Structure 1
């Protein structure tokens, strides 16, 4: 991973903040001018209120784009990508890192342990949680030539989780409905499903480490392996 201030993103971010501050200041001056006919104490109260609101707007604009950082990730399935993240996108990445590293999506499932049904249910839960997290978050604005945390998450859903679940969930459900009294180990496709699950887990692990790096975790691999 390489982390450095982006070449074009920061100057552009500064320009946006300066222009926004100038516009807000101009509007505040216009309002104060229009209110100047009030005179006396009323003028000072109005001017103070307008200045306060302008300051809040400027601070909010600055905080949204503050601490922009360029992060390069190398994922085997999507090659090397460049991301530009700020505080808000780091928060999203942290939530996704926690979700992906604490489920069976990245935790090992031996052939003689656990249930395939539980693994599929956990992956379904991960899919729903990631989607809900993205829906509840404000979409990031990508820098020129850069990607966003949301794009990485949606790639994980559509390229990894969705194909696996759409393939194996109907097959397991069909077996369960046709053989309600049989053990899961009697399912003829159980071994093949678990083998493909291990492949998907390795790929999801790469995404999880990417989320950790985007979130600013100093050693995502060590954190993900804590308690094993």
Structure 2
């Protein structure tokens, strides 16, 4: 039985998060390589894994999300203009995910958490202090919603690459 060859994948159709919609086009090898790099970065981060109530720090999750910006910029710069910037391109999708999904989320939550962190008494661990924050459950809930959107993005990248997510 012949093995599926992702290098022969031509037309892709993906459903995207953050109100981006869907896209369909022929992905070339440069786009697939960039999509693979973005996929690996995304699926190996704490931000796309469920964060249970008693697990992890919110700060770590926000930092992981924030770090997707320089990584995505680097991948797109290295791939060059062939990855595109239009809606129907890996570059355009990646930019839209940053600007429509991550940027608004981080712009809201980063300063709020930072303000709370600055009030931590020396005798409390960062984890205990986070747990005492009245906004902690709401941030965790919104992180889970964002995680689901990022999972949709990861699925789209997997589709572009031709791997099973």
Range class of TM-score, shorter chain: 0.7 to 0.9
Q: Shift in Å at residue 140 of structure 1?
A: 2.1
Whole-Å Cα distance in 2 between the matches of residues 141 and 134 of structure 1?
A: 7
Tell me whether 1:155 sits opposite 2:77 in the alignment. Answer: no
Match of 2:46 in 1: 104
Q: Shift in Å at residue 125 of structure 1?
A: 1.3
Relative contact order, higher structure (CA 8 A, sep 6+) = 2
2:74 aligned to which of 128, 132, 157: 132
Q: Shift in Å at residue 105 of structure 1?
A: 2.4
Correspondence 1:1-228 to 2 at 5 A = 69-75=10-16, 77-140=19-82, 147-181=88-122, 182=124, 183-217=129-163, 219-220=164-165
Whole-Å Cα distance in 1 between the matches of residues 58 and 25 of structure 2?
A: 35
Number of residue-to-residue matches in the alignment: 152
Match of 2:3 in 1: none
Whole-Å Cα distance in 2 between the matches of residues 206 and 214 of structure 1?
A: 12
- Structure 1 gaps, min length 5: 1-65, 221-228
The CA RMSD over aligned residues, in Å, is 2.0
- Structure 2 gaps, min length 5: 1-6
TM-score, normalisation: structure 1: 0.62
**Misfit runs of 4+, over 4 Å:** none
Larger-gyration structure (1/2): 1
Q: Is the 8 A contact 1:83 1:149 kept in 2?
A: no
